[in-house]
């Protein structure tokens, strides 16, 4: 592999001056000298001096015609992380704003965006926080990743695969979401060449074969397009290219087509001076060639949120080959090439006043406004991926208003996009006046009408139908409200047990007082929070009775955990129901064995209903119990690498010990196992089960009841 050639400072400054004559040459030279000095003696894995990398990143950003501060940040972006340089020194030499940007790039470099889901979600939050502070930090990071991908062959094979996958999953979609389609295309193609080199080579070989068979198809089609534009008297510039190998591969996979059957492998652009000329070009193209139904998009009248404007149409061109043509003005083309970065770019020596460039702060707000509604790591990550991968479709309300939705959206997504109330009460939908199922995928230009009914509530199955973050969040919120009654009931029982431990009663007044201290509206809300494990019952007791909570801090002797036994009488917990402190219990006396303690609802007690003389009235001793009460949990988990380890870690994080583990069933896609866990009380059991239930790899969880294990 050829080593990178270090771009000289004079060449770099001239490159910037070509689009920005007022550039601060001395500032860029100072950053170049400082960066070179800091990285002196450092080398890349390919063997070239390390400083070739920051200079190459700065050159990529100069090609995007970005401002001086971004160029300087690129030259310095690895100094704080990889050299003896400090934030304070960079700030002193180059100013606070550049130091902030360099520090921001350093923090982004340290984010493990392809880590575990919980950590990945938190790191994505940090990514979007950096974007909201200064979007140029992300531009530098994207250029950094682009150069690393261009020189990836110098890395170890396993490192190449890791970087390529991260690029395909995160950085390429982010570049596309920011409107820099050229960068997305190149990042995807570079990642594709690492992850599936044979697939990419096969596409290239077929291109060469096709070119031999048909000649230069691009040049032939260009001649046809230019002839039509001249005939219509339209001043325009036309250009054509073959689509990137990865773009073709993805289309082959999505449509399950062979290369021979794939028709629109060429793309063409027509650039004009005025917006009205775009529609004149469209008319000329459609007069000459037959338009392909369903392949027309007008992003001029309905621009994308990142400022992208263009008309897309696909026609049957020469020899029946499908040809995609994009029509836009030159100003629109600048934004199409630069995306959100167009806000900072220069043209003809002046900061670009492109009317189509979006305000980056407004764009970030639009991108993140629905992410803040996420209640969990999983929801946030789901929203981020939906936002980053979204490709929009436009549909109409019965009144003719336009609603933007991501590709793959359903009428149910549309209903929630209109209003949460409409979505919650939806019972059906009509598309273009025809009744359709709620899981129908919406297409461009369709008119959607939602049928509602009083009393209708969201169904859990709707979560599998909708794809937008807003709809999913609204449905989950509604389902939680329906669960509220169950949570309140469970919270009442947890509160009763916790208050009993300190000899108090969980009265309405006590609960209302605790709720007020916790900033909650009333006692009912507190009970709901207790039942959903958002608030601990012990925390409530400590809040109201701190002295009692402290004085009762010594753990109860497990041998004296039950109250109501005769003097010298021993007890055992029944293994069929495995009662724990906090649950209502009853004892059954056995000659020579003492008393067997059952949960009051244990089915085994039905056999003993006629033997009332053996029943003993018992209750648990008040106070904290040690974690020695074993409960068997019946778990079904995914048969996947690392899942069992994560489950064991999760139980340990709840301060519970696994005393035994038995595999009951093993299948290719799941395991069923019985896990014995040592617990303190009912609240501890609830906490462990809730944590496991929330784990995505746990398909089901319940207490294992074995009526054959009575003693």
Catalytic positions are 81-82
Q: Does an H or E element contain 589, and which?
A: strand 585-590
Taking the CB of residue 357, how many other CB atoms lie within 10 A of it?
Answer: 23
Contact 583, 682 (CB under 8 A): yes
Helix pair 469-501, 377-389: axis angle to 10 deg = 170
Give the integer Cα–Cα distance in Å for 359 and 346: 15
Give the integer Cα–Cα distance in Å for 117 and 100: 28
Q: Does an H or E element contain 670, and which?
A: strand 670-679
Spatial CB neighbours of 416, under 8 Å, sequence gap ≥ 6? 422, 423, 466, 468, 470, 471, 474, 475
Spatial CB neighbours of 199, under 8 Å, sequence gap ≥ 6? 192, 249
Helix pair 117-133, 360-368: axis angle to 10 deg = 150
Distances (CA, A) of 207 to 215, 232, 267, 435, 653: 11, 33, 14, 45, 55
Give the integer Cα–Cα distance in Å for 459 and 180: 39
SS3 letters for 415-435? Answer: HHHHCHHHHHCEEEEEECCEE
Spatial CB neighbours of 641, under 8 Å, sequence gap ≥ 6? none
Contacts of the segment 582-586: beta carbons below 8 A, 24+ positions apart: 582/493, 582/494, 582/497, 582/620, 582/681, 582/682, 582/683, 583/620, 583/682, 584/619, 585/618, 585/619, 585/620, 586/615, 586/616, 586/617, 586/618
Taking alpha carbons only, the member of 614, 560, 559, 617 closest to residue 589 is 614
Structure tokens of 697?
A: 């790899």
Structure tokens of 1?
A: 């592999």
DSSP 519: T
CA 255 to chain centre: 26
Strand partners, 615: 588
Query: What is the full DSSP assignment across 339-379?
Result: GGGGGT-EETTEE---TTPPPHHHHHHHHHTTGGG--SHHH
Helix (H, G, I), strand (E, B) or coil at 254: helix
Taking alpha carbons only, the member of 38, 163, 45, 344 closest to residue 55 is 38
Structure tokens of 660?
A: 């035994």
Contact 164, 194 (CB under 8 A): yes
């Amino acid at each position: 592999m050829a080593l990178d050639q270090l771009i000289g400072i004079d060449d770099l400054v001239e490159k910037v001056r070509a689009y920005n004559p007022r550039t601060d040459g001395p500032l860029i030279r100072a950053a170049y000298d400082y960066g070179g000095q800091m990285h002196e003696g450092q080398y890349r894995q390919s063997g070239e001096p390390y400083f070739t990398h920051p200079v190459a990143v700065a050159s990529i950003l100069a090609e995007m015609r970005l401002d001086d501060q971004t160029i300087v940040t690129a030259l310095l972006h690895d100094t704080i992380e990889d050299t003896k340089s400090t934030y304070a020194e960079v700030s002193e030499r180059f100013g606070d704003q550049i130091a902030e940007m360099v520090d921001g790039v350093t923090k982004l470099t340290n984010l493990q965006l392809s880590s575990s889901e919980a950590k990945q979600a938190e790191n994505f939050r940090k990514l979007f926080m950096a974007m909201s502070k200064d979007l140029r930090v992300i531009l530098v990071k994207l250029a950094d990743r682009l150069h690393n991908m261009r020189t990836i062959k110098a890395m170890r094979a396993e490192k190449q695969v890791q970087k390529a996958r991260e690029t395909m999953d995160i950085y390429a979609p982010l570049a596309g979401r920011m409107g820099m389609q050229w960068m997305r295309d190149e990042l995807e193609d570079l990642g594709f060449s690492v992850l599936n080199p044979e697939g990419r080579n096969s596409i290239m070989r077929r291109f060469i074969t096709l070119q031999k068979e048909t000649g230069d198809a691009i040049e032939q089609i260009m001649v046809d397009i230019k002839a039509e534009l001249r005939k219509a008297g339209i001043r325009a510039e036309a250009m054509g290219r073959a689509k990137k190998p990865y773009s073709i591969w993805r289309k082959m996979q999505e449509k399950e087509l062979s290369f021979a059957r794939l028709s629109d492998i060429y793309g063409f652009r027509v650039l004009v001076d005025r917006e009205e000329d775009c529609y004149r070009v469209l008319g000329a193209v459609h007069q000459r060639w037959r338009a392909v139904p369903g392949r027309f998009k007008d992003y001029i009248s309905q621009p994308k949120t990142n400022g992208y404007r263009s008309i897309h149409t696909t026609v049957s061109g020469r020899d029946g080959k499908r040809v995609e043509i994009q029509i836009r003005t030159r100003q629109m083309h600048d934004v199409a090439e630069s995306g959100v970065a167009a806000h900072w770019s220069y043209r003809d020596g002046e900061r670009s006043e492109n009317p189509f460039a979006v305000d980056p702060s407004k764009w970030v707000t639009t991108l993140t406004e629905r992410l803040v509604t996420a209640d969990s790591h999983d929801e946030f990550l789901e929203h981020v991926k939906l936002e980053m991968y979204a490709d929009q479709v436009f549909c109409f309300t019965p009144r003719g208003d336009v609603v933007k939705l991501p590709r793959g959206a359903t009428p149910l997504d549309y209903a929630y996009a209109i209003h949460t109330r409409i979505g919650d009460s939806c019972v059906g939908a009509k598309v273009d006046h025809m009744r359709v199922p709620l899981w129908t995928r919406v297409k461009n230009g369709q008119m959607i009408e939602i049928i509602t009914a009083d009393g209708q509530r969201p169904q859990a199955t709707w979560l599998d139908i909708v794809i937008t973050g807003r709809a999913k969040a609204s449905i989950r919120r509604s389902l939680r409200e329906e669960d509220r009654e169950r949570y309140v009931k469970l919270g009442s029982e947890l509160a009763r047990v916790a208050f009993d431990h300190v000899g108090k009663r969980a009265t309405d007044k006590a609960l209302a007082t605790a709720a007020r201290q916790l900033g909650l509206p009333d006692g009912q809300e507190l009970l709901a929070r207790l039942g959903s494990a958002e608030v601990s019952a012990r925390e409530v007791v400590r809040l109201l009775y701190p002295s009692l909570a402290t004085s009762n801090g010594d753990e109860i002797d497990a041998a004296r955990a039950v109250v109501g036994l005769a003097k010298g009488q021993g007890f055992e917990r029944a293994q069929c129901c495995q009662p724990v402190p906090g649950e209502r219990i009853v004892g059954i006396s056995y000659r020579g064995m003492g008393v067997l303690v059952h949960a009051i609802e244990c089915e085994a007690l039905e056999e003993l209903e006629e033997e009332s003389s053996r029943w003993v009235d018992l209750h648990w001793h008040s106070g904290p119990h040690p974690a020695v009460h074993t409960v068997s949990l019946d778990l079904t988990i995914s048969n996947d690498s690392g899942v069992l380890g994560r489950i064991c870690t999760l139980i340990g994080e709840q301060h519970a010990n696994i005393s035994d583990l038995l595999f009951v069933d093993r299948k290719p896609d799941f395991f069923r196992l019985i896990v014995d866990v040592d617990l303190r009380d009912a609240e501890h059991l609830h906490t462990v089960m809730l944590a496991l239930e929330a784990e995505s790899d746990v398909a089901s969880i319940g207490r294992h009841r074995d009526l054959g294990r009575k003693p």
